[in-house]
Amino acid sequence: MKTKHFLLGAFALVGSSLLAQHSGNVNTKEAASGNYNYQNQYQNPTVNTITTSYSSDTEMVIQIKGIYNEKATSQRAVFSILQVGKTAEEVTLLMDERMEQVMKDIKAFNPEIEVVIDLISFIPSYDYEVQKKLFNPKTYNEKPSGFELKKNLIIKYKNTNDLNKIMSICAKQEIYDLAKVDYVTTNLDHIRDVLQMKASEEYKQMLTNYSAIMNMDLFKKEKTLVEGYATTYPMESYKSYSAYSQAAINFAPDSQVNQIKKNTTQFYDAALAKSHTFVVNADITEPTIQIFYDLTIRIKLREDQLPKNTIIRNNRYYIITAAGDIKPLAL
């Protein structure tokens, strides 16, 4: 009997680890709160649905939301470079040598990659020297001790994997500071057209279904609409978390345990499709530019009592007395 209990416990532990291994380490901390979670792991979770349509006696509102995942047509990596030296000539010469070697190696790797140099600052650095005078106390005067030159190296490339080689080339010249990576697309106008067309198809299908359900022709009803766009770039979608690892061992009461500092890292966390009506290009692995589209349509269900374009006239009649007075005539 003891053996059976042991095997069952082993299978339970293996099964729980298999179920959790595809969720990622970001969820590990929440899952390590105790064994009481295991008994509820097969229960169906409660899911709150997203409201896409609602109506009253007078109005119906339809909301359509879409996402377009767009691969960047090009990317721009910005490297920051600092060069110091004793003279202006030395600083300029050392900087030029590093820049020229980077540009030469990048061109040899891929001639289509563009490299642009952006000057940031060129300033002298100072030390202080003490001057002693016969009748004056000590005075401290600034004395130029060298020069500091800062430049940015802007590298434009199309293939995401090229950045690994670019970083390797820059590292050979002691250029390590990757300031940022911009994602660029030239298809925004086309993307908006696609989102509008896709939303229009969804709207027509929904209107057809609702017309059948509500037993009225919603296509002929008076409508107003509001639409909006938003764009999120990959650098805005990264989230940070601390790696979680803790030994499940019972130490002696008099033992001293030293906790290791956990590593803090980042991961790309794109917007999920669950709160949207449709997604274009959902199956993309690399970080993408996400364009969001929102369409809200209000349908007037109850018509006005008077027909549309009816002209209302309020005619008043007056009478002029013999004395020349004007009085309203009640009819």
DSSP calls for 267-293: EE-PPPGGGSSEEES----S--EEEEE
Q: Do the domain assignments include residue 41?
A: no
Range of 136's domain?
Answer: 74-184
- Tell me: do 151 and 210 sit in the same domain: no
Residue 20 has pLDDT above 60, yes or no: no
pLDDT at position 43: 62
Higher pLDDT, 246 or 255: 255
Q: Which of 9-18, 106-115, 235-244 has the lowest mean pLDDT?
A: 9-18
- Tell me: do 131 and 217 sit in the same domain: no
- Tell me: do 78 and 180 sit in the same domain: yes
Q: Do the domain assignments include residue 18?
A: no
Q: Do the domain assignments include residue 177?
A: yes
Residue 207 has pLDDT above 80, yes or no: yes
- Tell me: do 155 and 221 sit in the same domain: no
- Tell me: do 165 and 225 sit in the same domain: no
pLDDT class of 29 with cuts at 50, 70, 90: low
Instruction: Say how far apart CA 63 and CA 221 lie, in whole Å.
Output: 17
CATH of the domain at 162: 3.30.70.2970
- Tell me: do 178 and 234 sit in the same domain: no
Instruction: Say how far apart CA 241 and CA 260 lie, in whole Å.
Output: 16
Higher pLDDT, 331 or 208: 208
- Tell me: do 64 and 201 sit in the same domain: yes
Residue 17 has pLDDT above 50, yes or no: no
pLDDT at position 14: 44
Residue after which a domain boundary falls, among 158, 184, 210: 184
Q: Do the domain assignments include residue 107?
A: yes
- Tell me: do 63 and 86 sit in the same domain: no
User: With DSSP H G I counted as helix, E B as strand and the rest as coil, what are the percentages for the chain, rounded to 5?
Assistant: 30, 35, 35
Q: Do the domain assignments include residue 266?
A: yes
Residue after which a domain boundary falls, among 184, 217, 234: 184
Q: Do the domain assignments include residue 24?
A: no
Q: Do the domain assignments include residue 142?
A: yes
- Tell me: do 64 and 210 sit in the same domain: yes
Residue 230 has pLDDT above 90, yes or no: yes
Question: Could you count the other beta carbons within 10 Å of the beta carbon of residue 208?
Answer: 12
How far is the CA of 84 from the CAs of 87, 120, 121, 143, 270, in angstroms? 9, 14, 12, 16, 41
Kindly give the pairing relationship between strand 139-157 and strand 114-131: antiparallel
- Tell me: do 140 and 174 sit in the same domain: yes
- Tell me: do 204 and 179 sit in the same domain: no
- Tell me: do 103 and 176 sit in the same domain: yes
Domain count within the chain: 2
Residue after which a domain boundary falls, among 184, 201, 234: 184
Q: Do the domain assignments include residue 35?
A: no
pLDDT at position 291: 96
pLDDT tens figures, 285-324: 889 999 999 999 999 988 765 556 666 666 777 778 888 7
pLDDT class of 195 with cuts at 50, 70, 90: very high
Q: Is the pTM of this model over 0.75?
A: no
Token pair 């030469």 is found at 104
